[in-house]
Structure 1
Amino acid sequence: MRVIGYARISRAMDDSTSLAKQRQIIERAAESRGWALVGIAEDEDVSATKSRLNRPGLTEARDAIASGKADAVLCWRLDRVARSVVDMGQLLDEGIEIVSATEPLDTTSPMGRAMVQIIQVFAELESSTTGERARATKAYLRSMRRWGGGPRPYGYRPEPSPDGVGKVLRVDEDEAAVIRRIFSDLLEGVPANRLARTLNAEGVPTATGREWKPASVLNIARALHVSGYLTERVAEGSRSRRPVVDESGSPVIAWTPLVDAATADAVRALVTSEALDEARSAATKAGLEGPRSLLYGLAFCPCGEALIRRVRKGTAYYGCRGIGEGSHVLVDAEKVDAEAVTQFLASFSGVEVVERVVEVSVSEALAEIETALAAASAETTSTATADLPTLFERIAALSAEKDRLTASEDRVTTRRTHTAYGEAWEGWTVEERREHMAALGVRVDVLPARRRGAWDPERVRVEADADYLTGQTD
């Protein structure tokens, strides 16, 4: 008989259940019985209870049976293949024969199939009771104010309890200092992304040894463990946690708090999803309604990123999104604007302003067509049958016009103003100036400073569309 071996392990806990040990047992069993072993499929770090039959190794074994490559599956023990009566029944219904190398179980006979199904009932019962025992253990540890296990909370180190029951959390002073710094900076308005960049630049690791991200900072700010609270899951399978409460309904404080209650509550109020969404909305609205800088969308860093105008301590500057990650620009915005204007007017001061005029707006025409289509479609329910062909012709014509407009562009002409840029410049708003510069294809490249703190006008280089003057005289 040709068999394919199958080995699975949830976690490598001891050598007796290792994949290497299972392979060895499967190979010996096949050899002793005179069977041809066509291969061994494996699933490592895979739970049969959680993944059910959706396992790469098991799929490989099932495919080998279905394709005729093998006649049966040979495993170390039956529970390596399935831990559910339903799952085992599905495999048997597929015609898959399963043989255990260490148990007197062989589904190639009717008695063997019956024994397998009976044993699976108890295997499923064991799996369920194991979960119940784990939940009961965690509940008992919480009642004793012990740490329930899982990922180590940042700021603490788990240690054996002095009374020998479970583990307790002791303060890690270095990490506790980082937590207090995060809470203090957030209260002062320091953005989470800047905090993350600073911590990474200083080489401060997270609890898992990885780099900080804005989400990591916000997770610390929202965490309940920094207040010393003993926590539990909100519901089975949920990632959200809540404080364990005592008989009076007060949160149980099992560990030394890392942040005082007032500070923790104030920061948590700032970083709730609702507060962050409200802050983002306010910032977006202010950005849309407020005046934009002259070189918004026109100034660029040598790295290719567009420069963004920010204000720090009352001074406006252009900065690159990549600040702190290499040779990027951070420069006084007023000086850059002034130099850009000087260079722009040096080239265009005597050039006549030619304005673009939209004679036909596609978007406006499309809106009219769609309104007419909606009205015509509504008429189909109240129009007499004899008049429907005419109505359908109108709808077809409107649809064809809509398709034509969708594929077309605005019809634009130019209008001469007989006024040069040098004359009109002072009378324009910042928005109007930027719009004219953008229409001319202006791009402003700002180079890094040769010497820190020193202003050099040569750092600003203004380029415009070389074909503009030629096009203007056509």
Structure 2
Amino acid sequence: MPRRRGLSAAPTGTRRYVAYRRVSELMGRGGDDFHSPDIQLAAIHRMAKPAGLEEVGPPVDDIDRTGRDFSRDGIDQVRRMAAAGQIDVLAVYKVDRFGRNVLESLQLLAELAAQGVTIMSATEQIDTSTPSGRWMLTNLLAIAEMQSDEIGRGWSNTIARRAEKGHHHGRPLGYLRVNKRLMPAPTLGPAITELFRRYAAGDPIGEVTEYLAAIRGKTMHTANVKKLLRNRAYLGHVVTGDDVLPGEHEPLTDEVTWRRVQARLAAEAGTPPRHLAPTWSLVGLVECPQGHKLQRQGDRLVCGHGRGDVKGGTCPGVGRPVLARVEAEVLRQVAAWAAELRTDHHARARRLARLAVARVDRATLERQMTDARAGMVNLVKERALRRVPEPVYRQALAELRASEQAAASQLARLGPAIREPDPEAAAGAADSLLALWGDAEVTHAERVRALRSIVGRIVVRSAARWREPEHDRVDVQFYL
């Protein structure tokens, strides 16, 4: 195998160069006005040969990277090559390929110049080894930044106009663009719907992420999946700036599932990983009377904010109850609650009354959301026909959006709808939980998920007397 030529091996007196290429987005673009990486490299080679330059390495690329940001892998590589004395010239197709930010471009230019590296442009005849070349480069960088600002402003206006017509800009995962309209993808569309359903049902975020990654055939991070779950495009909306408008594309999830997903995301924001991947059966449910989540220390529970548990804590704490005893008392109260549902007519009546009130509140809020969305649709249509002045349109849209968000927030606080007020079904769920708890093959995550389906919180108070037993200090609060 022939010996590989090192980057520093250049004849004496020959200036060494490396070609730098940058494209903001490839996206299958073409045509005479598109400066593809191949076009850029060919022009650089045509410039370098008569100038007596020798290429000492493969081209350095920043593909799909904006010129406004200098935190680029290609620029970092150029810095390393300059610091190592491997190049004398950085060759670019045009100055705007180097960057569209005057301040950072000049700072990098000064850094390269201090290391003896100059910039040469293949199409603008610029050589920063001369005073006129440096002056010309400064002006061209200013023009490139101005053009970048104009391009950004134009795209913002285009996106806003498309949103007013109900057209989503871009293509969220799970959609295909057919005739300039978003359509659900055959495989990923149902997968996104299932993703929302699983997360709303309480599946751990890690398992949900693994499911979507398996469908895509690509690794994914939980943070990216959470970002996807917050995308209102899957609800059939179009977002532009602060405005949320009705879109023309088909939603991939429904209102109830969306609200449950958003409520869970809000509840889990900042939640420690031990709660999302539980290692014991009551994690995230058991707390002190002040609302602080209890932590496990060995075989006991402690309040992390308690005066006796954390130095400087202000909470009275709960002492150090034994976890196994608290767990046994929780299961006893679950069994008693199930028996009460089957036999106590007063308990049934109270439950039916609560459900009736909840149904009335939910129906009112859902009607408010429907009216607000219908109003936004009509308003957008009137705006498209130029029947509504811009100030009136903006004010009315803001009011309708505030009404929709207020109703959605109250619906989220109500929690998931209970479709059938059946005490027998609730008691059956409790029996299933008790049977599940006794199965050694069941994981802690499955136990927590089953317990959350009927239990809102478990409160453990501190002992009121010496050696007060745990079963007198535990209060299980049920949803129903």
Scaled by the length of structure 2, what TM-score is found? Answer: 0.47
Select the structure of larger CA radius of gyration.
1
More strand by share: 1
Per chain length, whose mean CA-contact separation is higher, i.e. which structure has more relative contact order (CA < 8 Å, sep 6+)?
2
Scaled by the length of structure 1, what TM-score is found? Answer: 0.48
